Amino acid sequence: MRLKDEDFAIFVEAMNTKLGTELRSEPFDLTKVEDLNEAIMLAVGAYCDYSHYHDKLCDLDERFDESLEHYETDTWFYIGQGSDKADDLTSQCYSSLEHTCHLFKLIEQRAKLNMIFYIKYVLSSTSDVQKKIFGSVFDITSEAFDKKIEKLFDSFSDLEYKYIITESFKSFINHMKSEWKDHIV
C-alpha cells in the first residue's frame, strides 16, 4: 500500500469518519502481526481482483474481435493489416480495449509481485507468525521458493473468484495449504 503524505492521511481519516469505512491511513508496521496480516490480506485481494478484471477484459477483447469478424469484416480485416482504412470509431474501440487489457496485465503483475513479497516475508518469519497468518507453518527453503511460488500461481486460476477480501484471502490460504501440503511442518 502506497500512502502518500499527511494530507492523504487526513483525507482518509475524514472519509472513514464520514462514510464509516475503515481504510488505512498510515503505513504498515510489518513487525506487528496484525499489520502484516492486513498487508498480506490486501495484497491477496488486490491480486485476485486485478487478475479477475484482466481475465474479463481479455475475454471481452476476444469476443469483440469475433464480433468484428462477423459484423464488420472489412474493419476487422483492415485492423489486422494495420491499415488506416478501418472505421475510426471501431478501430479506436479495438485499440483502446487492447491497451486497457495490457494495462491491467501490468497492474496484475505488480500486485503479484507485492503478494509474493508478503508471502516470502511471512515464510521467513517465526513459526508463531506463520501460524497466526497462514494457520500453518511451512518449511520451504529460499532456493525452492521461486519454483513453489510459480507453481502456486500457475494453479491459481483454478480458484473461484471471490470479491470479498477476507473470502479471497481464506480461499488463497486453503489453496496454498493444498499446493504446499508436503511442506507443512
The DSSP letter of residue 161 is: P
Sign (positive/negative) of CA torsion 77, 83, 85, 86? positive
Q: Note the pTM of the prediction, 2 decimals.
A: 0.86
Please provide residue 138's backbone torsions phi and psi, each rounded to the nearest 5 degrees. Answer: -110, 145
- Mind listing the pLDDT tens digit of every residue in the chain (185 residues)? 555 667 778 888 888 899 888 888 788 899 999 999 999 999 999 999 999 999 999 999 999 999 999 998 888 888 888 778 877 888 888 999 999 999 999 999 999 999 999 999 999 999 999 999 999 999 998 888 989 999 888 888 777 888 888 999 999 999 999 999 999 99
- Please classify residue 29 by burial: count the beta carbons closer than 10 Å to its beta carbon, then call 0-12 exposed, 13-18 middle and 19+ buried: exposed
